[in-house]
Structure 1
Amino acid sequence: MAEYQTLIVAAVSALFSGIGVGITLKTDVKWLRVMLEKIDQRVTHLEQGKGQ
Structure 2
Amino acid sequence: MLFLVAALLLFGVTLGTVAHVPLGFTAVAATVIAAWLAVFALRERHARRRGTSH
Q: Under a length normalisation based on structure 2, what TM-score does the superposition of the two structures give?
A: 0.55
Residue 45 (structure 2) aligns with = 25
Structure 1 segments of 4 or more deviating over 2 A?
Answer: none
Is there any run of 5+ residues in structure 1 with no aligned partner, and where? 33-52
Q: Say which structure is richer in helix.
A: 1
CA–CA separation in structure 2 for the residues paired with 1:2 and 1:17: 23
Equivalent of 2:34 in 5, 14, 18: 14
Q: RMSD between aligned alpha carbons?
A: 1.8
1:29 shift after superposition? 0.4
Structure of greater Rg: 1
Residue 2 (structure 1) aligns with = 22
Is there any run of 5+ residues in structure 2 with no aligned partner, and where? 1-20
